[in-house]
A and B are shown apart, each in its own frame.
Chain A
Amino acid sequence: MAKADNLQGALELLVLKILRRGSTHGFAIASYIQQTSDELLRVEAGSLYPALHRMTEAGLLKAEWRMSDAGRRARFYALTPKGRRKLEAEEARWHAIAGAVAKVLRSVT
């Protein structure tokens, strides 16, 4: 399977989607993607953290230091309203594209 960072848009979409459920830290995002994709998608820290910072700079996320469940300081990320709108737009776009791709795949046999 392709690494997520070859699909930057996809990684961002996944991050936005995961954060939709509530704020969490980078490690949890990475773990979550890995688990729910049945280890199919492996997120490299080298892609994830620059992406998180880039998205923060772009105003899609906001970040703050909080105590993690493990009782250790961690940097928690959360969606901004702008991020929320971006998620909706991107999700719709993704489904449209994915649907279109599936259609083509089905029709050409």
Chain B
Amino acid sequence: MSLWSRMRNTLTGRRLDDEIAEELQFHLEMDGAGGRSPRDARLRLGNVARIKEETRAMSLMQWLESAIADARYGVRQLRSAPLLVVTVVLSLTLGLGATTAIFVLVDAAIRKPLPLADPDRLVIFEWSAPDFPPGVSNLNGEFRRLEGGRRQGSSIGASLYRRLASEQTGFAALIGVGAYPDPIALAVEGAPAEQESIQYVSANYFQALGVEPAVGRGFSSGEDQVGHEPVVIISHRLWLRRFAGDRSVIDRPIRINNVPARIVGVAPPGFFGTRAGQWPGIYAPLAIKVAFLPSSGTAVRAEDDGNWWVRVIGRVRSDVPEPAATARLATLFRGMATPPGMAVDAPSIPQLAAFPGSRGFESLSARDTDALWTLLLLVGVLLLVVCANVANLLLSQAVARHQESAMRLALGATRARVFRQHLIEGAVLALVGGTAGLFVGDVFAQSIHRLFQTGRDASYGYDLHIGGRVVVNTALLSMAAAFLFGLAPAWRAARADIGDAVKGHARSIAGARLRVPRALVAFQIALSLAALVAAGLLGRSLTHLKAIDIGFDRDRIAYATVNPARAGYAADRIPDYADRVRAALAAIPGVMQVSTVSTRPLSGGGNANAVNMPGRPPEVEGGMAKNEYITHTNAVGEGFFAALGIPVLAGRALDHRDAAPGVSTVVVDDLFVRRFLPNQDPIGRRFGLGIDAKLNTKYEIVGVVANSRYNSLRNAPMPTVYEGYRPGGTVNFAIRSAVDSTALREAVRQAVASIDGNVPLTEFHTQPALIDRLLRTERMMSVISAALGGIALTLAAIGLAGLLGYMVARRRKEIGVRMALGATAADVIRMVLRDSSRLIGIGLAIGLPCAYGVARVLRSLLFELEPVDIPTTAMAFAVLSAVALAAAWLPARRAASIDAVSALRKE
């Protein structure tokens, strides 16, 4: 049976089913009219349903068959235009790949549920209170200000958690999780210790989350007890990395912070814990923290009631509604949250509340979340550009296939069928592009992830594997794209004039004005302008940020960090240890200077306090000093200013004398002097830090240094006070050297290990790497938006060249006539270029408001730039115009080379 007759049959007139029914009904009535009883007639007719079924069966099968035939036919048609297919599939692969990549990231960081059993049954508990809860001296975990002045906190004390968890509540289980993983030193079998991260959890953690260890077992309830032998479970990644996936790792002795411990299990692959983005290597019971982090002196201990650091997740029972269970738990919590014997007024007691927990703890800062959504918006725009481009390419092909469509219509195919045929062709293309896009998307996502993780160790990272959610999403997007780009060509094909089939040559289309293709090219140019402006703004912001004078010599500085306290060093032994490491580092060939520092400049962290000048106490607002009284504080060792290249402007630099106990001599920077001691000699002046007005003479200024950037490039510079540095737990060394950073890192590692193999090199960063880490969101946005802009520009150029090429081919005869009448090659080129300039002009005009819209969305990511930035816009304008004209040049040249005689003869 021919394709044509199938087409005629399948979609002509009304639904076939109704037709058969009516035809048989007619038969029945006619039979009855002959004098027989209707029942008799029906008997004679036989089983109506069966007849219908048999008559229709062919048609249903045919519909499916015909769809497959259409697809096959489509593939055959496409095979005859390989260049077109390659261009279309490449465009789709880029567009769908970019979209997939960003979707993978958004999904991993913001949307995906935790990889464990029944995540929808999890709730996360937080509490709200006017301030720190009574009796609490240390809070670790999210603590934010709510509207109306209350604070929302997230963690509670370890023993408070255990008491709550042992109560009969409406929850199947209450799980305790340390608010953040802690860095530790892990030593395996005599090798030098290495930095790892540990997540302290309650004993029921794995079992209650429904996570089955891949090897070994979860924790048992007796193991969350102070004094119990330290047992740990390691992540699958650490197992592969450090133990090569050896199953005999169970019961193997290791040393954590120089304390003996035993591995009892390996977490399953893909399990990263309960906060996306962090991937701790080791899990240990909450009570083991005391063993791994023995604190000396007055420091708070993990098990202190006043130290709140454990977050609580609940698993909802199927037979108790969650609100009732939470209400019961909140009442219990109120009763337990206050230390016994402490008189407190009711409003200050924290109030417990439950939040959905299927995605685990919050993973990204608000800024990074914004950045990701912005990227999703940008790739959405890119995908639209791709669709417009593909639509155009197919459209020019649909015009070329005009006669084929006309023939099919003339042979009786319905317009719907021709329409469907073209959509199916689009779907075939989108399927190929989408499949390739999945692979490209994977590569893109991994690269963006690497950019985003700059300067972070293995304990960070997102699970980016391409799962069912991503595949479904990309498949849906592909189909949506297929429909978007297939619509216009399909519509055009279905509108073909039947008469053209008979005439044998599609003359009538020569008059068609190609309105849709022109509009699409203009649209592409408009969106490309928006993408280029976005890329320009983000790129210029990054350049501005990087060009900021940070006040010291960034290129030759590197920092090494060690934590001897974690290897069991008592506080009084640490300064001596630090001196020995410092000497070892200074002995490395090529190292010029080594000093110590508490807060590494531009590492992102830091301290701030209010300056309390005699006679000018800080103004306080809502319990906090006003911003103009705030100064940064840092502690630095001997030779720090020289090592970084910060000039001393007056007095002297800090040395070992200033680090002696009981000494409070400080150096301040120029901004401090100008803000707090304008037009006065600062040397010898005294001041205090903090908002207590009486404490205003503790510190004595002995020197003034030049300004430098402390922890932000974005914010306005702030004053800084430098104290002498007495290393406590963590020690940062600032190294000035002429050595290449890779070689330096290795030399530093060896120097640290040579002093004490139990103390690992915790971190090593060059100053530029720290700045890159500080600017990682900006770098990521800038790189990605530049890539998107480039892709959009390329696509627009392809689209324009394709359209013009087609128009030139169609006007071959007209151009031939013009040339025969004396038009020169230059005239023809001018004609084509004039045509394209109009198109480009329209596109740019539409693009300007689009660009402004995108730029406004980007506002929060810009630095020292307004959304309307004339140089950026002008640049984008110029680049786009140049590329577009270059794209138009090729078809224009082709037009000019048309030979008048042969063009005319061909007709």
Q: By the criterion CB–CB under 8 Å, are A72 and B26 in contact?
A: yes
Q: How far is the CB of B316 from chain A (nearest CB, A)?
A: 59
Q: Are A46 and B51 in contact (CB under 8 A)?
A: yes
A56 touches B9 (CB 8 A): yes
Are B26 and A74 neighbours in the complex by a CB distance under 8 Å? yes
Residue contact B51 to A59, C-beta cutoff 8 Å: no
User: Does B50 make an interface contact (CB < 8 A)?
Assistant: yes
Kindly report which residue of chain B lies nearest to residue A74, judged by CB atoms.
B26
In the bound complex, residues from chain A placing their C-beta under 8 Å from that of B648 are none
Assess whether A54 is interfacial by the CB under 8 Å rule.
Answer: yes
Q: Which of B51-73 contact A (CB under 8 A)?
A: 51, 54-55, 58, 62
In angstroms, Cα B20 to Cα A3, docked, is: 23
The answer on a CB contact under 8 Å between B5 and A49 is: no
> Closest Cβ of chain A: how far from B414's Cβ, in Å?
15
With both chains docked as a complex, state the minimum distance between the C-beta of B412 and any C-beta of chain A, in angstroms.
Answer: 10
A-facing mask of B33-44, CB < 8 A → 1, else 0? 100000000001
Complex: how many Å from CA A86 to CA B30? 30
A104 at the interface (CB under 8 A from B): no
- With contacts A46-B46, A46-B51 known, is A26 near B27, CB below 8 A? yes
Residues of A within 8 Å of B62, CB to CB, are 57
Contacts of A17 in B (CB 8 A): none
- Cβ A50 vs Cβ B51 within 8 A: yes
Determine the residue in chain A with the shortest Cβ distance to B57. A50
Q: By the criterion CB–CB under 8 Å, are A70 and B33 in contact?
A: yes
CA distance A30 to B41 in the complex (A): 13
Quick check: is A100 within 8 A (CB to CB) of the other chain? no
- Given A46-B46, A54-B58, A27 and B26 touching (CB < 8 A)? yes
**Chain A, 87-105, contact with B by CB distance < 8 Å: what is the 0/1 string?**
0000000000000000000
CB of B715 within 8 Å of the partner chain: no
Beta-carbon contact of A53 and B58 below 8 Å: yes
The answer to whether A49 touches B26, judged by C-beta atoms less than 8 angstroms apart, is no
Name the CB-closest residue of B to A30: B27
B26 touches A25 (CB 8 A): yes
Task: Tell me if A39 is interfacial: C-beta within 8 Å of chain B.
Answer: no
Cβ contact of A57, chosen from B9, B20, B50, cutoff 8 A: B9
The answer to whether B30 and A70 touch across the interface, beta carbons within 8 angstroms, is yes
Specify which chain A residues have a CB less than 8 angstroms from the CB of B553 in the assembled complex: none
CB < 8 Å: which of A53, A54, A58, A73 contacts B26?
A: A73
Interface centre among B6, B27, B46 (most CB of A within 10 A): B27
What is the interface residue range for chain B against chain A? 20 to 34
Smallest distance from the beta carbon of B629 to chain A beta carbons, Å? 91
- CA of A56 to CA of B62, assembled, Å: 14
Q: Is A44 touching B46 in the complex (CB atoms < 8 A)?
A: yes
Task: Give the distance to chain A from B522, nearest Cβ to Cβ, in Å.
Answer: 47
Interface residues of B in 759-789 (CB under 8 A from A): none
**Per-residue CB proximity of B6-39 to A under 8 Å, as 1/0?**
1001000100000110111011011101000000
**B23/A75 in contact, CB under 8 A:** yes
B45 touches A45 (CB 8 A): yes
Q: Which of A25, A31, A49, A72 contacts B51 (CB 8 A)?
A: A49
Q: Among A45, A49, A57, which residue has its beta carbon within 8 angstroms of that of B1?
A: A57
A27 to B25, CA, bound (A): 11
Q: How far is the CA of A45 from the CA of B21 in the complex (A)?
A: 13
Q: Choose among B9, B30, B51 the residue that contacts A27 (Cβ–Cβ < 8 A).
A: B30
Contact A75 B1 (CB under 8 A): no
B22 with A45: CB separation less than 8 A: no
Determine if A46 and B5 form an interchain contact, defined as CB atoms under 8 angstroms apart: no
- Minimum CB–CB distance from B716 to chain A (whole Å) comes to 81
Does residue B166 face the partner (Cβ distance < 8 Å to A)? no
- Residues of A within 8 Å of B45, CB to CB, are 45
In the assembly, what is the distance between CA of A84 and CA of B23, in Å? 24
Please measure, in the bound complex, the distance between the C-alpha atom of A102 and the C-alpha atom of B697, giving whole angstroms. Answer: 135
Question: How many Å from the CB of A6 to the closest CB on chain B?
Answer: 16
Does A59 contact B5, Cβ atoms closer than 8 Å?
yes
Residues of A within 8 A of B248 (CB): none
Minimal beta-carbon separation of A26 from chain B (angstroms): 6
Known: A27-B31, A45-B45, A49-B51. A57 touches B26 (CB 8 A): no
User: Are A57 and B6 in contact, with the CB atoms below 8 A?
Assistant: yes
Contact status A46-B47, CB under 8 Å: yes
B26's nearest neighbour on chain A, judged by CB, is A74
Please determine whether B51 and A75 come into contact, CB atoms closer than 8 angstroms: no
Interchain CB contact under 8 A, A75 and B19: yes
A57 to B63 alpha-carbon distance, docked (Å)? 13
Question: Across the two chains, which residue of chain B brings its CB closest to A53?
Answer: B55
> What residue of chain B has the Cβ atom nearest to residue A72's Cβ?
B26
Inter-chain contacts of A56 with B (CB < 8 A): 9
What chain B residues lie within 8 Å of A74 (beta carbons)? 23, 26
Shortest distance from the beta carbon of A78 to any chain B beta carbon, whole Å: 15
Chain A's closest residue to B16 (CB) is: A53
Question: Please, how many angstroms separate the alpha-carbon atoms of A74 and B22 in the complex?
Answer: 8
Bound complex: CA of A58 vs CA of B5, how far in Å?
Answer: 7
Q: Which of A58-77 contact B (CB under 8 A)?
A: 58-59, 65, 68, 70, 72-75
User: Bound complex: CA of A94 vs CA of B439, how far in Å?
Assistant: 64
In the bound complex, CA of A65 to CA of B12 (Å): 12
Q: Which residue of B lies closest to A51 (CB)?
A: B55
Judging by beta carbons under 8 Å apart, are B51 and A45 in contact? yes
Distance, CA A46 to CA B46, complexed state (A): 7
> Which residues of chain B have C-beta atoms less than 8 A from A72's C-beta?
26, 29
Q: How far is the CA of A21 from the CA of B26 in the complex (A)?
A: 22
| Nearest CB on A from B386, distance (A) | 41
**Complex Cα distance A45/B26, Å?**
12
CB distance from B49 to the nearest CB of A (A): 11
How far is it, in angstroms, between the C-alpha of A56 and the C-alpha of B58 when the chains are bound?
12
Taking a contact as CB atoms under 8 Å apart, the answer to whether A45 and B58 are in contact is: no
Chain A 1-36, CB-CB to B under 8 Å as 1, else 0, gives 000000000000000000000000111001100000
Whether the pair A50, B33 counts as a contact (CB closer than 8 A) is no
Once the chains bind, are A49 and B55 in contact (CB under 8 Å)?
Answer: yes
Are A49 and B20 also in contact (CB < 8 A) when A57-B1, A58-B5, A70-B30 are? yes
Closest B residue to A62 by beta carbon equals: B8
Tell which of B6, B13, B27 touches A45, judged by Cβ atoms closer than 8 Å: B27
Given contacts A57-B1, A57-B58, A70-B30, contact A49 B9 (CB under 8 A): no
Closest CB-CB distance, A50 to chain B, in whole Å?
Answer: 5
Contact check, A26 vs B33: say whether CB atoms are below 8 A apart. Answer: no
Contacts of B1 in A (CB 8 A): 57-58
A73-B22, A74-B26, A75-B19 given; A57·B5 CB < 8 A: yes
A49 and B22 contact, Cβ closer than 8 Å, known pairs A44-B46, A54-B58, A57-B9:
no
Contacts A46-B47, A74-B23, A74-B26 aside, 7 further interface pairs with beta carbons under 8 A come to: A25-B26, A27-B30, A27-B31, A46-B50, A53-B20, A57-B5, A75-B23
25 contacts between A and B (CB under 8 A): A26-B23, A27-B26, A27-B30, A30-B27, A44-B46, A45-B46, A46-B46, A46-B47, A49-B23, A49-B24, A49-B27, A49-B51, A50-B51, A50-B55, A53-B55, A56-B9, A57-B1, A57-B6, A57-B58, A58-B1, A59-B2, A59-B5, A70-B30, A72-B26, A75-B26
The 3 closest A-B pairs by CB, nearest first: A27-B30, A46-B46, A27-B27
Query: Interface on A for B, CB 8 Å cutoff?
Result: 25-27, 30-31, 44-46, 49-50, 53-54, 56-59, 65, 68, 70, 72-75
